[in-house]
Amino acid sequence: MTQSTPLNVEVVRRHMGDDAARVDLSLLQQCASTNASLLEQGTTRDMLSVLVCEEQTEGRGRRGRNWISSGPRSLTFSLGWRCMLEPAKVSGLSLVAGLAVAEALADLGMTGVRLKWPNDVLFRGGKLAGILVDMQSNADAGLDVIIGIGLNVELPDLSGLETPETDQDSLAPAALSQGLAQPDRNLVLAAILCKLIHLLDEFACEGFAPFSDRWAARHAWAGHFVQVRMDGMAPIHGNCLAVDSDGALLVDTGRGVQRVLGGDVSLREVN
């Protein structure tokens, strides 16, 4: 295991340069969930709230899974954003967050980072990072949007953990240390936050449409045969195409192209 640099708020802010003035950044040694903590705390219109935690005890992944957060082996944080968009206009936000992670890592020299719809960041076919977006109405008649991001800095220790047989769409883990020599968590966090700040500014004005081609260029499963499962609906099988201007996945079922929006969705590759 590579010795990981301790997280330090002032070091992160120095790496961010002028963008540091846009965020209220806090560090905790332990919490139940950074998303839950920011939802309880609420957001403000003037600043982006960022909470980074060394260890989450009740971190959540998609579809109710736990997200393993193991101190220096991982980087776990949430960003709170107060926006004045309607809920329907926020579709595609998890894709923008994934794009921010991929592009920030590319700026740091990590090549080959790919994206899996709707909220996974992949490297060498394994899951490098996961994204969870929560939202609630606020007093300004807008939305408090919380973007939770968890990255593996080192490969997690999975010994003693059991994967349910029904969880077939889970991917093997990947880690920053496989693509970056001596990954500095402070630098990685700063790079992702800077990228997120500027992408959120653009998203607030123009929605997902300006990002669709950039996301598609990193689409890991483009052209692959997939199964899409949604609670209460029959599975969809077909050829995985691109995403549209709202961030919906397009799947060619052979009887036409079906549009799949985000939500509690499971996407798996079918051989």
For the stretch 101-139, pLDDT in tens is: 999 999 999 999 999 999 999 999 999 999 999 998 887
For CATH 3.30.930.10, list the domain ranges present in the chain. 9-216
pTM of the full predicted structure? 0.91
Say if CB 153 and CB 72 are below 8 A apart. Answer: yes
Residues of the chain with CATH 2.30.30.100: 225-269
CA distance 47 to 118: 27
In a 13 Å sphere around the CA of 119, the CA atoms on its Cβ side amount to: 22
Distance CA 180, CA 177 (A): 5
Q: Which CATH architecture has domain 225-269?
A: Roll (2.30)
Q: What is the pLDDT of residue 59?
A: 63
CB 146 within 8 A of CB 135: yes
Stretches where the chain sits below pLDDT 70 are 1-4, 59-70, 158-170, 262-264
CATH number of 9-216: 3.30.930.10
- Hey, how many other C-beta atoms are within 10 angstroms of the C-beta on 12? 24
pLDDT of residue 4: 64
Q: What interhelical angle do 185-206 and 9-16 show, nearest 10?
A: 50
